[in-house]
A and B are shown apart, each in its own frame.
Chain A
Amino acid sequence: MTLIRRTWQEFRNAPWAYLTATLVIALGLAVFSFFGLVYFNLVHFTEQVAQELVLNVYLNPGSTKEEAQAVIAELEAYPLVAKVSYLSAEEVLKDLEKLFEEKDLLAGVSLEFLPPVLLVSFKDPFRASQHLKKLSAKIAALPGVYKVQFAKSWLVRLANLKRFLEIMSLAGLALIGLATCFIIALVVRLSLSQRQKELEVLSLVGATPGFIQGPIIVMAALEGAVASFMALCLVYFLKFYLDGVLRDFFPNATGALLFWGRTELIILIAGVILLCVTGSYWASRRYLRY
C-alpha cells in the first residue's frame, strides 16, 4: 500500500482528532503571527518617523553653487547618508511664507540674508544619531557652512521609544512563541495518545517504525501546512481590516501596515511543519513497543 493511501487511511481513522488539532494549531499560530506583525509595524513606524528627522546644514548667505556642491560631495561620501537635498534662499523664503500666516513678518527679509539649506536624511537614523555630533562638527568646519542643526533630542527620544517597543514586543513575542510551541506539541501529543493502543498493537504484530510513523508524519506535515495557511489567511484579513480602520483614524496616512515578507512566511510555515513533524515523531515513538 502506498504512503499516500496509508496517509488517507490514517486520516480516516481519526478525522476529528486531526481536524481539531489543525484548528487549535491554526489559532495558536494566528495569535503568534498577529503579535509578530504588531511588533514589526511598531518598529517600522518609529523608523519611518525617524527618517523624517533630518540634519540641516545652513550655508553662508550668498554662497556660490560650487561651495554648496563641495559640501554636498563631502556629505554624500559619508556611508550612512541616504540623500542630500539643496534648498536655495528663494525656496527657503517660500517655505517661511508658508509657515507664517502674517506676511508682514517677512516683508523686510532680503534674500541676501537668507542662508541656503542642505537637508540631509540618513539610511539608519538611529545608528547615525550616535555619530551626528562628530559629523556636524566636521561639516561645520567646511568652507561655506554657516551652521549645522539637528533634532538630536527627538532622535534620542525616538531611539529610546524604539528600544522600549523592541524589548516589550520581543519579550511578549517570545512568550507567545513559547506558548504556541507548547500548544502545538501538546495538541500533537494528545491526538496521538488517543491512538496509543493502535500504535502499540501495530508494533507488536511486526510493523516497522517506518510503516507506523510514515503516515503519521505525513499527516503532521499536512496538519502544519494547513494550520499555517489558515492562520496566515486570518492574520492577513485582520491586517486588511486594520488598514481600513487606520485610514479612518489618520486620513493623511498613505502607507498600509506591513505583512510578513516571503522569507518570513517560508520560515514561519517551515517552522510549524517541522514542529508538528518532530512532535508527532517523538510522541508516536513513545508508544512503539520495540
Chain B
Amino acid sequence: MEEILRLEKVSKIYEPHITALDEVSFSVAKGEFLFITGPSGAGKSTLLNLIFRAETPTSGEIYFEGRSLSSYKRKEIPFLRRKIGFIFQDFKLLENRTVFENVAISLVIQGLNEGEIRRRVVKILERLGLGGRETQLVKQLSGGEKQRVALARAVVNRPRLLLADEPTGNLDSRRTEEVMDIFEDLNAEGTTIILATHDEALYVDRHRRVLVLDQGRLLNP
C-alpha cells in the first residue's frame, strides 16, 4: 500500500536534557486510520507537532508524501500545512470571532471565492451538528462545541492527512461517539487520520493499528 508518512529514527530533545521522543520510526499508509496512545507526557503531542512541522526533530527524518520535511523552506511550510489538518488539544480558536469566521479561515487563506467558502463552511457545520450557529461567537460555546468547531476548521479544506490531538477530551460519551463517527466517515472518504489519545475506549474494538508511546519510545514499532 502506498505510504503517505514515514518517520525514521526521529528524536526530539528539549534542552537541557528532556527526551520527548527517542528514535521513533514507523510509516503510515494512505487512507489508514492510526491511533497513537500512551500516558500523559509520553510524547504524543510532540510527535504530532513534528509531523505538522510546528517543531523540528533534533535528529532523524520525517517524510510526507515522499518528501523530507526538513527540505521544506520557510515559505513552503504554509502549503504543507494546507495538506495536513490539525485538531489541537487546546483548539486554537479565535474566541472573539464567529463560528463561521473560525472555520472559514482555512479557505480564505487559499483565496477561494466567498460563495464557495460559504457553501463548504455551512455544509461542514451542519454535518458536525453546528448548523445555525454560524454567527455565534466562539467564546459563547461549550467545550464540546468548540471541539467540533476545531474539527470543522481542520477538515473543511479536505486535507490529505488529519492529525487529532486528544480530540474527544472535552466531550461526553454521546458526543465522543458522534465525533468518532465523523472521523470514520472522513477516513472512508479517503482521508488518512492519526489520532493521539490516552483514552483506551476510543480504539478498542475498532480494529485499527495502535502505536503505543511511553517516555518517548515506541513500544510496538
In the complex, which residues of chain B have a beta carbon less than 8 angstroms from the beta carbon of A290? 74, 77-78
Check A205–B106 contact: CB distance below 8 A.
yes
Interface residues in B118-157 (C-beta closer than 8 Å to A) = 153, 157
Check A1–B77 contact: CB distance below 8 A.
no
Q: Please, how many angstroms separate the alpha-carbon atoms of A197 and B54 in the complex?
A: 15
Q: Please, how many angstroms separate the alpha-carbon atoms of A197 and B94 in the complex?
A: 8
Q: Please, how many angstroms separate the alpha-carbon atoms of A83 and B52 in the complex?
A: 78
Given contacts A1-B111, A206-B81, contact A201 B75 (CB under 8 A): no
Tally of contact residues, B, Cβ under 8 A: 23
Q: Please, how many angstroms separate the alpha-carbon atoms of A197 and B139 in the complex?
A: 14
Q: Chain A's nearest CB lies how many Å from the CB of B52? A: 8
Tally of contact residues, A, Cβ under 8 A: 16
Check A200–B105 contact: CB distance below 8 A.
no
Q: Is B92 an interface residue (CB 8 A)?
A: yes
Q: Mark B82-114, 1 if CB is under 8 A from A, else 0.
A: 100010100011100000000001101111000
Q: Which one of A204, A206, A207 contacts B92 once the chains associate, using CB atoms below 8 Å? A: A204
Q: 6 shortest A-B CB distances, which residue pairs?
A: A206-B82, A206-B81, A207-B109, A208-B78, A206-B78, A290-B77
Interface residues in A193-224 (C-beta closer than 8 Å to B) = 197-198, 200-209, 211
Interface residues in A241-290 (C-beta closer than 8 Å to B) = 289-290
Check A200–B92 contact: CB distance below 8 A.
yes
Q: Please, how many angstroms separate the alpha-carbon atoms of A201 and B97 in the complex?
A: 12
Q: Chain A's nearest CB lies how many Å from the CB of B64? A: 14
Check A202–B111 contact: CB distance below 8 A.
no
Q: Chain A's nearest CB lies how many Å from the CB of B210? A: 27
Q: Please, how many angstroms separate the alpha-carbon atoms of A270 and B92 in the complex?
A: 38
Check A204–B109 contact: CB distance below 8 A.
no
Q: Chain B's nearest CB lies how many Å from the CB of A173? A: 40
Check A205–B54 contact: CB distance below 8 A.
no
In the complex, which residues of chain A have a beta carbon less than 8 angstroms from the beta carbon of B78? 203, 206-209, 211, 290
Check A204–B94 contact: CB distance below 8 A.
no
Given contacts A1-B111, A198-B94, contact A204 B81 (CB under 8 A): yes
Q: Chain A's nearest CB lies how many Å from the CB of B164? A: 14
Other A-B pairs beyond A204-B88, A206-B106, 14, CB < 8 Å:
A1-B111, A197-B92, A204-B52, A204-B54, A205-B105, A205-B109, A205-B153, A206-B80, A206-B157, A208-B75, A211-B109, A289-B54, A290-B74, A290-B77
Nearest residue, chain B, Cβ from A201: B92
Q: Please, how many angstroms separate the alpha-carbon atoms of A123 and B77 in the complex?
A: 63
Q: Please, how many angstroms separate the alpha-carbon atoms of A209 and B78 in the complex?
A: 8
Q: Is B14 an interface residue (CB 8 A)?
A: no
Q: Please, how many angstroms separate the alpha-carbon atoms of A198 and B93 in the complex?
A: 8
A-B contact pairs, 24 of them (CB 8 A): A1-B108, A197-B92, A197-B94, A200-B92, A201-B105, A202-B105, A202-B109, A203-B78, A204-B86, A204-B92, A205-B81, A205-B105, A205-B106, A206-B80, A206-B106, A206-B157, A207-B105, A208-B75, A208-B109, A209-B78, A289-B54, A290-B74, A290-B77, A290-B78
In the complex, which residues of chain A have a beta carbon less than 8 angstroms from the beta carbon of B74? 209, 290
Nearest residue, chain A, Cβ from B92: A201
In the complex, which residues of chain A have a beta carbon less than 8 angstroms from the beta carbon of B109? 202, 205-208, 211
Interface residues in B35-85 (C-beta closer than 8 Å to A) = 52, 54, 74-75, 77-82
